Chains A and B, each alone.
Chain A
Amino acid sequence: MEFVFFIIFGLVAVVSALSVILQRNPVYSALSLIITLGSIAGLFILQNAFFLAFIQVIVYAGAIMVLFLFVIMLLNLRKDEFGPEKRKLQRFFALVFSALILIELFIVVRYIILGRAEKGLSLQADFGTPQLVGRLLFSDYLFPFEITSILLLIAMVGAIFLARREE
C-alpha cells in the first residue's frame, strides 16, 4: 500500500517538476511547482513526517508560492519575453552536467545505501508529530530556533529596504 502511494506521489512530483522547467509561461511553472510541493508533502506523510507535511502545504505551497505568483503578476512580462531560449551549446552542457549529478547519486545509492543491511527500526509512536518536533525545537534546538527568528527579521528588513522606491 505504501509502495502504491509512493509511486503515485513520486510520478506526480517528477512530471510536474519537469513541467516547472519546461513551461514557457512562468505562471504555469509556478502552478506546476505547487503540484510538486503538494506531492512532496504526500511523500512526507508516507515517512511519518506529519508536522512537516502540514508546514509544507501551509508555508511552501501557500505562502511562498503566493509570493511567487504575486511577483510574476507584478512584473507583467510581455509575451515576447517568454520566447524560445537559444544557446544550444549551454543547453547541451546543462544536460550533460545534470545527468552526471544524477548518475553520481545513482552510484552512491547503489553501492553505499543499498549495500547496507536494512535496520528495520521500529519507530517510536509519536515520531514526527507536532508535539515531538515542538519539544525538540524548544529543548535541544533552542539556539538554532532563536537564530532563525533573527534571520527572518533580517530578511524582512532587507526585503522592505530593497523593494522600497527611492524618494
Chain B
Amino acid sequence: MVQVSYYILLSGILFSIGVLGFLIRRNVMVVFMSVELMLNAANLALVSFAKEMGLMSGQVMVFLVMTVAAAEAGVGLAIIILFYRNRKSANVDDGNLMKW
C-alpha cells in the first residue's frame, strides 16, 4: 500500500521538471513538450486524490484534461508550423513581433 503523499511528491517532481524545461529550453517543440509534462503531472495528482477520497470525479476530470490537452496540441502545433513558416526558425526568441 503506497501512501498518497508519495504519488503527490512524484507528481511534484515531474511538474518541476516540466517548469525547468519550459524555462531553460529555447526550442519551441521542447517547450511545448514541457507543457505536456506539466499537464501529466497534474493528472497524476488528480488520480491519486481520486483514489484517496474514493471518488470517481477526479478520474472524470483527468479525462476532460486529456481532451483539452489534445485540442491544445492540435492548435499549438498549427501555430508552431505557422511560426516556422514565417520566421524560418524554431527558436522561441525569434517570436518577438508583439514584444514592446
Contacts and interface: CB of A to CB of B under 8 A. Distances in A.
Interface residues of A, number: 84
Interface string B36-64: 11001001100110111110110110111
A30 to B, nearest CB: 7
Interface hub of B34, B56, B57, B68 (most chain A Cβ within 10 A): B56
Interface residues of B, number: 69
A105 interface: yes
B66 A60 contact: yes
A97 to B, nearest CB: 7
A44 to B, nearest CB: 6
B97 interface: no
A157 B84 CA distance: 20
A97 B19 contact: yes
Contact of A3 (B2, B54, B68): B2
Interface of B: 1-10, 12-21, 23-27, 29-30, 32-34, 36-37, 40, 43-44, 47-48, 50-54, 56-57, 59-60, 62-64, 66-75, 77-82, 84, 89-91
- The 8 closest A-B CB pairs, nearest first, are A21-B21, A94-B23, A105-B12, A155-B71, A162-B78, A98-B20, A159-B78, A102-B16
28 contacts: A3-B2, A13-B14, A14-B10, A20-B34, A20-B37, A26-B33, A26-B90, A36-B14, A40-B14, A44-B47, A47-B7, A48-B51, A59-B70, A64-B69, A64-B73, A68-B29, A75-B84, A81-B27, A91-B24, A98-B17, A102-B16, A105-B16, A121-B53, A123-B51, A123-B54, A128-B56, A140-B60, A154-B71
